[in-house]
Chains A and B, each alone.
Chain A
Amino acid sequence: MENTSEYVIEMLHITKEFPGIKANDDITLQLKKGEIHALLGENGAGKSTLMSVLFGLYQPEKGVIKKDGVEVKINNPNDATALHIGMVHQHFKLIDVFTVLDNIILGAEDTKMGFLARKAARAKLEELSEKYGLAVDLDAKIEDITVGMQQRTEILKMLYRDNEILIFDEPTAVLTPQEISELMQIMKNLAKEGKSILFISHKLNEIMEVSNRVTILRKGRYVGTVDTASTNKQELSNMMVGRPVQLEVVKDVAKPTDVVLSIENMCVASHLHKKDAVHDVSMKVRRGEIVCIAGIDGNGQTEFIHGLTGLDKITSGKVELCGEDITHASVSKKGKNMSHIPEDRHKHGLILDFTLEDNMVLQRFREPQFARAGFIKFPEVRKYAQKLIDQYDVRSGQGPVTVARSMSGGNQQKAIIARELDREKDLVVAVQPTRGLDVGAIEYIHSQLIAQRDAGKAVLLVSLELDEVLSLSDRILVMYEGEIVGELDPKKTNAQELGLYMSGAKRNQEEGSNE
């Protein structure tokens, strides 16, 4: 069939209703052949619903889908596959104990007399990975390879099935900065070879870098489609949030005073190998400054924070907080002067099956304010939770009695931030506080952390995002393989230099190497 239309996929006036809510309200999305089309919107804007409609998981009430100008009906994912639509989900659909090759051919196996024809598949995959620059080891097991490589496996899976329309659902959320730039290159290669890409994201940098056009959704409604070349980040974020957003972090010069946290030669053993996960780390954090620990994921930041907060044992060294030696203190003792916004909000930050109000007093339920004679004063807990909800604008279906699991990621994080900041401790430890959040929420969290600093608190931030590191911190410590390899002034450095330190290519001069 001759392709008469300019567009490979058109979703015209799609309306999808759930009881009481229009998740998609008259949304139009047109994807040109060979373009990278970004779909931008806050959490809950309707991006996923729209993609689920395209993938056949939902049936829209109104609207039509056209492929190459011809109206099609997509009733289930099999129909979508038949139309050569493929999707890389945010959470990969791979079997850990299978090899890359087996994962790719799973569900589309060619057989010869009932036996798998792996040889032909291998040849095809080698050709594909050569063509698009997708380096993977076909014989490695999924559990042994990096997240980036797992993602390339998912991409190869789509290519192996000859998909023409590739959907990437927030593909960078799980990647390191290096892997992100690799992915961007891969996406460009794919587009160059004529594949059409739908790229769901709320990260403006990536959208600006890689996409040709952007469609913006807000609260289920279509806001507009713009050419990336003729727009900028500020305009995009304003369209997405619906109000002017402060993209740049605005803050005064830090006025650090006395030392709150002092760490000397701290070591933490690794659970994975015999070497220390954290080796000989020393630092001081003072009131009125934001100190950021930068580094590529997995360089000991998690273990360092676990050691500091008491979730893990410190093997040697000394930690002093507010003049008290807390090296081997329990979590609750350490928490006396420290609040901790944890890296993993589902694993540590919240008890997902508890209500919001129960989560709000996770550390404080024994305090006289909330308990008498071993009984929890539930009216007090309710009142307190409601106060935090109002003050920090935590949005949820049923207020204090909402089960945490049912809340959106952004609001879960807000709830944690509300809880931790309201404890008013001298040291605020924030680990990747903006991970997976949209611009509006990020803006909010950044302003909260700066407010803490200006209120005379010491803030220790761990972040993987270079932008965040450079814009938010007053002092940067770079962690590489469990050691602090450099201290940088964010005003005098840039992403390139930071990247060199983070990848271990550069160390502080005192360590021996020089520029």
Chain B
Amino acid sequence: MKEILSRWYAKDSVKKILSSLISILIGLCVGALLVLITGIFKSTISGKGIWEGIRIVFLGILSTGRDANGALSWGLNASNLGNMLFRATPLIMTGLSVGVAYKTGLFNIGAPGQYLMGTMTSLAIALSIPSEVVPAWLIWIIAVLGAALAGALWGAIPGIVKAFFNINEVIACIMTNWIAANVVTWFFDGSGFCNVQEYGKTGYIYPTRYNNVATVKLGLDKLFAGSQVNGGIIFAILIAIGMYILINKTTLGYQLKACGSNRNAAKYAGIKDRRNIILSMAISGALAGVGAALYWLSGNTEFVWSTYQALPAVGFNGIPVALLALNNPIGVIFTGIFMAMLNIVGQQLTNLTAYNEYISDVIIAIIVYMAAFSLVIRVWLEGKSKKKAIAEESKEVTKKEEE
């Protein structure tokens, strides 16, 4: 048994997962601690309230509200789970966006901008092509592709600037983010997409259902009754798997990784480093753009178009999603869903206890911190087995020598 465990532990992937789980656990514990401390210093929160808060922090996703006696009840909450998957969809996409760029040695902090360009393009296409003329499913596909293209173009800009002028992509990304925020505001400001039909909805763009465009549900709405979930999550997972294959199995992925790990060696081997930097940023941008499309084409999401003062958090949250998954596309599926879960937990805190959702923001912040730290945790985990590996190499050498 111990043998199996140690062999299992020796696997690199196991250590990676373990290190991420540890950082998540630390984040949750600090969140619980925060609940405890706030509870102690706030006279309105009783000991029972604290205990309830802590339980929600850890298990909020399984909370079904309160029963007749006012005690917390637990079980599978279909609407919460469905909403979690719905919110996870764009997070997985922006996580992929950051992760894929990182494989090429680039830090794509431009996901919010690429996401906004995807938002603008997908909404504009979905609302402007009349569904009486073109079938709605075709409009949906065109809108997704348009968003991908817009995101790709927006991502390629920092890539080009980096490849040809060696300007740090982080700076270029931050600038393109704010340019995107202003372009989007300006575009919708003068457009006919602003929702004027529903009373009190000033500042919103029409949800795409007004043009009968909506992401297919694929039966998920029945599985998770009462939630916003749709087929987008399936698409996101498929794209993540596709990215995994692209990175690990194809010549393109090999080139991208080569450029990311050692640009000089890639150049030495005749790999076009500039092309790959631009390509990597374009792919990243496309992923973020599609993420936006999958969210806003759901049919019932309403975009607040005046974004020039704030960038979408889902873009930035792609960074912790990718970090926590150690930039592995498959891992991103899980960390994306996890981040969405924290979001739901925050809601549950607001709805069911005297605490509010901002605690979940703190938890996310701690986990982001710990995610950066997960590298340290991994080094620590590896430290134990590294000496073993050295020993094995020497053994191998000795064995060969004896032959």
Contact = CB atoms under 8 A, between A and B. Distances in A.
B390 A21 contact: yes
Interface stretch (A185-193, A390-398, A477-485): A390-398
A342 B269 CA distance: 11
A351 B254 CA distance: 11
Contact of A20 (B250, B270, B388): B388
B269 A20 contact: no
Interface in A378-414: 378, 393, 395-398, 402, 406-407
Given A19-B387, A397-B393, A362 B258 contact: yes
B128 interface: no
A369 interface: no
A376 B257 CA distance: 14
A252 B239 CA distance: 61
B270 A332 contact: yes
Contacts of A331: 267-270
A374 B251 contact: yes
A96 interface: no
Nearest to B257: A354
B400 interface: yes
A334 B268 CA distance: 11
Given A348-B265, A351-B261, A363-B270, A19 B391 contact: yes
Given A311-B268, A331-B267, A406 B262 contact: no
Contacts of A397: 389-390, 392-393, 396
Contacts of A393: 400
Given A374-B250, A375-B249, A375-B250, A349 B389 contact: no
29 contacts: A18-B391, A19-B391, A20-B392, A20-B395, A21-B391, A44-B397, A219-B401, A311-B268, A330-B272, A331-B268, A332-B269, A333-B270, A342-B268, A347-B262, A348-B264, A348-B268, A351-B261, A351-B262, A351-B265, A352-B262, A353-B261, A354-B261, A362-B269, A376-B254, A378-B249, A395-B393, A395-B400, A396-B393, A406-B390
Contacts of A366: 251
Interface in A329-360: 330-335, 340, 342, 347-354, 358
Interface in A83-120: none
B69 interface: no
B268 A340 contact: yes
B252 interface: yes
Nearest to A348: B268
A354 B251 contact: no
Most buried by B among A21, A330, A402: A21
Given A340-B268, A397-B392, A365 B261 contact: no
B400 to A, nearest CB: 6
B268 A406 contact: no
Given A310-B270, A365-B255, A406-B390, 16 more contacts: A18-B391, A19-B388, A20-B388, A20-B394, A20-B395, A44-B394, A44-B397, A331-B267, A347-B264, A348-B264, A349-B268, A362-B268, A374-B251, A376-B250, A376-B251, A397-B396
Contacts of A18: 387, 390-391
Which of A20, A311, A351, A407 has the largest number of chain B CB atoms within 10 A?
A351
A371 interface: yes
A110 to B, nearest CB: 38
B265 A350 contact: yes
B267 A20 contact: no
A335 B394 CA distance: 35
A371 B267 CA distance: 20
B398 interface: yes
B394 to A, nearest CB: 5
A219 B261 contact: no
A219 B387 contact: no
A354 B260 CA distance: 11
B391 A358 contact: no
Interface in B2-55: none
A342 B264 CA distance: 11
Contacts of B397: 44, 395
Interface in B157-174: none
A167 to B, nearest CB: 23
A21 B395 CA distance: 7
Given A351-B258, A358-B254, A371-B251, A395 B396 contact: yes
Given A331-B267, A363-B269, A363-B270, A20 B251 contact: no
B261 A335 contact: no
Contacts of B261: 351-354
Contacts of A378: 249
Nearest to B398: A219
A363 B267 CA distance: 10
Contacts of A352: 261-262
A410 to B, nearest CB: 11
A354 B389 contact: no
A344 B271 CA distance: 18
Q: Which 5 A-B pairs have the closest CB atoms?
A: A332-B270, A20-B391, A397-B393, A331-B270, A348-B268
Contacts of B267: 311, 331, 348
Contacts of A330: 270, 272
A396 B387 contact: no
Contacts of B265: 347-351, 362
Interface in B259-307: 261-262, 264-272
A332 B268 CA distance: 9
B283 to A, nearest CB: 14
Contacts of B389: 397, 406
A406 B397 CA distance: 14
B54 to A, nearest CB: 41
Interface string B370-399: 000000000000000001111111111110
Contacts of A347: 262, 264-265
Contacts of B392: 20, 397-398
B387 to A, nearest CB: 5
A363 B265 CA distance: 10
A335 B271 CA distance: 11
B216 to A, nearest CB: 29
A354 B271 CA distance: 15
Contacts of B390: 18, 21, 397, 406
Nearest to B390: A18
A397 B400 CA distance: 11
Contacts of A362: 258, 265, 268-269
B282 to A, nearest CB: 17
Contacts of B255: 365
Contacts of B391: 18-21
Contacts of B252: 374
Interface string A257-277: 000000000000000000000
Contacts of A371: 251
Contacts of B398: 219
Given A352-B262, A406-B389, A21 B270 contact: no
A334 B267 CA distance: 12
A352 B261 CA distance: 8
A396 B270 contact: no
Contacts of B394: 20-21, 44
B17 to A, nearest CB: 19
| Best-buried of A219, A330, A352, A362 by chain B (most CB within 10 Å) | A362
Contacts of B271: 332
A322 to B, nearest CB: 17
Contacts of A44: 394, 397
Interface string A192-212: 000000000000000000000
A295 to B, nearest CB: 22
